[in-house]
Structure 1
Amino acid sequence: MAAALFHGLSDPSRLAILQHLSLGEHRVRDLTEHLGLAQSTVSAHLACLRDCGLVVSRPQGRASMFSLTSAPELLGVLDAAERLLASTGSAVALCPNYGIGTEGNPAPEQLRTHTGQGEGA
């Protein structure tokens, strides 16, 4: 089950969504504006995070408000990951299988182009 949890956390966009939700509830539209991602992309990532039990939604008018389910525990995992990354230096980023720039983990400039932000933004 830990592997499934970490797989759910493995996408940079999903991590960015979780970081925004750590500040409080957000609508899909809010996340779309904050992250510069397409609405369909944000919705798909939120569905994945909801399926993993990491976020919940509640209706508010015609929109849905998304929030973290177990904020202290999840934020503890993310904080521990930051500390681990700080202690390993660039080793993870350079990993030939999962490092930055590999398939499924694009470099930041590739992510912006992939989401449409890099062109004219």
Structure 2
Amino acid sequence: MATTRDELSPEAQAFLKALASPTRQAIMWEFADGELTVTEVAERLGLAQSAASTHLATLRDAGLLISRREWKTVHYRPDPAAFLRSLEDLRGHLLACCPPAETDTGGDD
């Protein structure tokens, strides 16, 4: 949860920064098919392998991806628990600074 009304947790800040890039958003969609390597991400999105690697590292560092090494190949997959924690932190922050308006019940005044 955020430490003050104005401040998001470092995890939520990293989450927003990581997903601010349209390329990283596209990469996250590619994981619908399962685990991917840097090479697979690069091929699917038409990226240079170095660019794909940089984007994947940003997503991993933000806690959105888990990686595992198999020989020289690194496989990536989403970390749903981290994703949900960041969303919950953002929700808490939004509710703290912008509480929902009272709903009109439709009654006569």
Give a deviation string over 1:32-74, Cα, whole Å, max 9, x none.
Answer: 1000001111111111111100001101222011000117956
| Cross-structure match for 2:64 | 54
Q: 1:71 to 1:48 in 2, by over 3 A?
A: same
How far apart are the structure 2 equivalents of 1:3 and 1:73?
12
* Count of residue pairs brought into register by the alignment: 75
Relative to structure 1, is the Cα distance of residues 73 and 30 closer, same or farther in structure 2, using a 3 angstrom cutoff?
Answer: same
Q: Hey, which bits of structure 1, 4+ residues long, moved more than 2 A?
A: 1-4, 71-74
SS state at 2:66 partner: strand
Larger Rg over CA atoms: 2
d(CA) in 1 for partners of 2:35 and 2:79?
11
Instruction: Please report the RMSD computed on the Cα atoms of aligned residues, expressed in angstroms.
Output: 2.0
Contact 1:22–1:71 (CA<8 Å) still a contact in 2? Answer: no
Contact 2:34 2:77 in 1 (8 A): yes
Alignment check: 8 A CA contact 2:64 2:83 kept: no
- Higher RCO (CA 8 Å, separation ≥ 6 residues): 2
Q: Using the aligned pairs only, state the percent identity.
A: 40
Task: Report 1:58-77 matches (<5 A).
Answer: 58-70=68-80, 73=83
Match of 1:102 in 2: none
Q: 2:44 aligns with which of 26, 34, 45?
A: 34
For 1:69 and 1:25, how far apart are their aligned partners in 2? 11
> Gaps spanning 5+ residues in structure 2: where?
1-8, 88-109
Q: Find the aligned partners of 1:45 and 1:65 in 2 and give their Cα distance.
A: 14
How far apart are the structure 2 equivalents of 1:37 and 1:49?
A: 16
